[in-house]
Structure 1
Amino acid sequence: MHLALKALLTMIRKIHSLIVLLFWAVAVSTASAQSPLQPESPIRPDSPIRPGDRIAIVGNTFADQLRIHGYLETMLLQRWPDNPVSIRNLGWGGDMLNARDRPTNFPAEEETLSAHRTDVIIACFGMGESFAGEEGVQSFQAAVDAWIKSLEGKTYNGKSQVRLVLVSPIANEPLGKLTPRHEQRDREISAYSQAMSEVAIAAQVPFVDLYQTSRYLMDEPIGPNFTTNGIHLNSYGYWAMSHYLFRDLVRDDPAAVQPPWQILIDAADLTTQARGVDISDAARTEAGIKFRATELIAPTLPPPTSDDLPPQLHHLRDSMTITNLPPGIYELTVDDVSVATASHDDWARGVTIDASPAHQEAEAFRRAVNDKNLQFTYSWKALNQVHIVGERKKSPSGRALPAEVIEFNQLAQKRDAKLRDGIERQTRNWRVTRIH
């Protein structure tokens, strides 16, 4: 009886997860049907994230580590280049709603939220609290409810009440000996995610369910691990989860869920179709074809792994398909930069494109996002607290620290302003040449 019930619950969980991912697929299809050249649809007033929002991220290790990977922030910045968001990450490893200890004389969170003129807070909690077991769920629900109520009437931007978004913890990834209590821990995390969802629904606060999404992806045997120890995402995990978190944050704006680049070319008659780029001047060459591609949207950031991805994530990558090429091996170059090499059969099936000059510029932009976050961290969470409140407070370096903190904050603001320029979209020369 126990095994039958367990099998039924597992089936229900997978069906729910599939429904969640199908919703995203429908959203992508809806966005695909809209030409990037058409005006964007109006932003619904209840959209979790809106153009120009000043965002603060608070929470546990998941929140804290978002700042050093930069995928989510890069996607949000690229989404509205004419009115970009601005983000400050206040995450702190190990934070829980009722346990957020800070060093002596550390600035109050409200001060930082006000200084940033925060419009919306993205809160990531539940993982640390889940270690209290299922008997701690009710206390956690009460803490989430109390936290939401504590922010009622707060106007950090000086004009409107701060908006909230709640983000669940991820599932517990089964990693053999690294996760000896996997099933129990996963049940506990699931219970805390569900508890957060119930409070969010009651309070009419947007809720992002990363538990169900990550559980579904972790059950797929193909692809690298998402975490280092079952609960802390690695760089690949942050790449994948950031895509789904982004899509939930802009879910009420169908035009915001822009699908990756997709280029389709028939080498026989040079007919073309494209999404994300505009193709022109297609022509044959002695050993292949050439054309010009004008970038309409920013390229998709490549995953930080060379391993095969699970099928559920293939739709997150830019690709090009060329049919009717004569047999042979063909190299793609973009502005004379080698991007991909594949056989005519592989090109006919579709080849991932994520090493073009535009992709390299997108990666450089992500590194700039990470650098901005580093400067802010130095200004907000100075690494050597002994110089602030400890025995070296009156030393030359201790006396110099306040001025240095101010300078780091100014550096963060300058880098933030530079990020508003976004990634320049260009027209580039693409060439596919037979090399064997």
Structure 2
Amino acid sequence: MRPQDRVVLLGGTLIEREQVEGYWESPLTLAVDFPVSFRNLGWSGDTVWCESRGMFDPPAAGYARMLEQIQQINPTLILLGYGNSEAFDGPEKLDAFREQYRKLLADLAGPKRRFVLLSPTYMEASSVPGIDRQSTAAHAQRYNANIDLYAAVIQELARDGAASWIDLRPAFSASAGSTPLTDNGITLNAQGYWVTGRYLSLALAGRQLSIEQLPPPPITTVSGREPGENASVREQLRSVIRDKNELLFHRWRPQNFTYLFGFRKHEQGNNAVEIPQFDPIVTELESKIQSMKPQ
């Protein structure tokens, strides 16, 4: 990352749920001694075709809206997290995935804009719901084989496009047999974001923070005393980051989108004028985030 970077996080569930946890953004914020801003545009279940973003419209409309949002934010750095949903399609759709991801990167390109491509994450067999553990293990093994195929394509695209590449899969090998990283085998839980956040801070900030920020949830130390002052400050910072992310979510993806901007805007579209009122509140919280960083 560089001073004054405007970072957009773009992708599916992996990206969207990070705005609720904040275990990526908080260490990245703390790892640099200059101001950086973050905008999370993740959408659950999304693909490189923007199939989830279409809502009541075709995917192409969601794709166009996403590009318009990128143009408005004008990021200097875009971090993309795709592949988990697409991997369910198996090897048969690998070439189509490659071509569409390449098109997405071309459409997102801008003057001096940089890209970071994340690998998709593995399925954690032990966390997959089900009684038949042998069956779920076999299912996870097949899915993870697909993940490796899709990750290889993403790494290839990063290399061809002079983008950065961050492989999150080793986090699952390092944590095997310990605390689960997912809620259901695929969706990262707080621990999963905390662990993978350390990979991101090392790759994007050039250093990895020491484990002073205790793993989630905040716990009492072995001695029975409360965590130290730094841990408390970091947790307060993460709380403000989460508040900022919630406001941003309502800014770009309001719950009543259909009435404000969609096919029913003729009924209540006049209320869309209120949406930009989120902006000064977000700006205020971002200033607070910067002021909370240890000097």
Cα distance in 1 for partners of 2:78, 2:66 equals 12
What CA distance in whole angstroms lies between the structure 2 residues aligned with 1:258 and 1:96?
30
Q: 1:302 aligns with which of 214, 224, 230?
A: 214
Contact residue 386 and residue 393 of structure 1 kept, 8 A: no
Percent of residue pairs bearing the same amino acid type = 24
Structure 2 residue identity aligned to 1:196: I
- Residue from 247, 265, 270 that aligns with 1:375: 247
* Aligned residue in 2 for 1:202: 160
Q: Which runs of no fewer than 5 residues in structure 2 stay unpaired?
A: 131-135
Q: CA deviation at 1:177?
A: 5.7
- Is the contact made by 1:171 and 1:214 (CA closer than 8 Å) also made in structure 2? no
Aligned ranges 1:42-191 → 2 under 5 Å? 49-81=1-33, 83-100=34-51, 101-103=53-55, 108-152=65-109, 154=110, 160-175=111-126, 178=129, 180=136, 181-191=139-149
Q: Is the 8 A contact 1:171 1:231 kept in 2?
A: yes
- TM-score calculated relative to the size of structure 1: 0.59
Looking at structure 2, the residues matched to 149 and 339 of structure 1 have their Cα atoms a distance apart, in angstroms, of: 49
Identify the match of residue 257 of structure 1 among 191, 196, 207. 207
Deviations 1:27-54 (A, max 9, x none): xxxxxxxxxxxxxxxxxxxxxx223211
* Counterparts in 2 of 1:102 and 1:143: CA distance versus 1, 3 Å: same
Equivalent residue letter for 2:65: A
Residues 149, 258 of structure 1: alpha-carbon distance in 2 compared, 3 angstrom cutoff: closer
Match of 1:217 among 133, 149, 174: 174
Q: What is the deviation of 1:354?
A: 7.4
What is the CA-CA distance between 1:132 and the residue it aligns to? 0.7
Contact 2:91 2:149 in 1 (8 A): yes
Question: Given the alignment of the two structures, is residue 361 of structure 1 paired with residue 247 of structure 2, yes or no?
Answer: no
Task: Give the deviation of 1:119 after TM superposition.
Answer: 0.3
- 1:417 matched to 2:290? The reply is no
RMSD: 2.6
Structure label with greater radius of gyration: 1
Structure with the higher strand share, 1 or 2 = 1
- For 2:242 and 2:195, locate their aligned partners in 1 and report how far apart those are by CA, in whole Å: 17
**CA pair 79-399 structure 1, distance change in 2 beyond 3 A:** same
Question: Does the C-alpha gap of structure 1 residues 354 and 183 become closer, same or farther in structure 2, counting only changes over 3 Å?
Answer: farther
**Aligned partners of 2:273 and 2:153: how far apart in 1?**
44
Distance 1:151 1:387, change over 3 A: closer
| Alignment CA distance shift 1:85-1:354 (3 Å) | farther
Residues in 2 aligned to 1:386 and 1:146: alpha-carbon distance in whole angstroms: 28
2:54 aligned partner, one-letter code: R
Q: CA deviation at 1:393?
A: 5.1
Does the 8 Å CA contact 1:302/1:354 hold for their aligned counterparts? no
Secondary structure in 2 matching 1:58: strand
CA contact (8 A) 2:82 2:119 kept: yes
- Distance between the aligned counterparts of 1:170 and 1:231, measured in 2? 7
Q: 1:134, 1:354 → 2: CA distance?
A: 50
Give, as a single letter, the amino acid of the residue that structure 1 aligns with 2:288: K
Report SS of the residue matched to 1:92: coil
Alignment size in residue pairs: 281
SS of residue in 1 equivalent to 2:179: coil
**3-state SS in 1 of match to 2:74:** coil
Q: Is the 8 A contact 1:57 1:121 kept in 2?
A: yes
Contact 1:56 1:121 in 2 (8 A): yes
Amino acid corresponding to residue 59 of structure 1 in structure 2: G
Contact 2:127 2:183 in 1 (8 A): no
Aligned-partner residue type, residue 165 of structure 1? V
Q: State the alpha-carbon separation in 2 of the partners of residues 363 and 408 from structure 1.
A: 24
TM-score with structure 2 setting the length = 0.85
Deviation at 1:244, TM superposition (A): 1.0
Unaligned runs of 5+ in 1: 1-48, 155-159, 251-255, 262-299, 308-337, 343-352, 426-436
- Asked if 1:192 corresponds to 2:150, the answer is yes
2:28–2:200 Cα contact (<8 Å) kept: no
Shift of 1:210: 1.0
Amino acid at match of 1:406: P
By relative contact order (CA 8 Å, sep 6+), the higher-ranking structure is 2
8 Å contact kept, 1:55–1:118:
yes
Mapping for residues 9-24 of structure 1, pairs under 5 Å = none
CA distance in 2, matches of 1:151, 1:176: 35
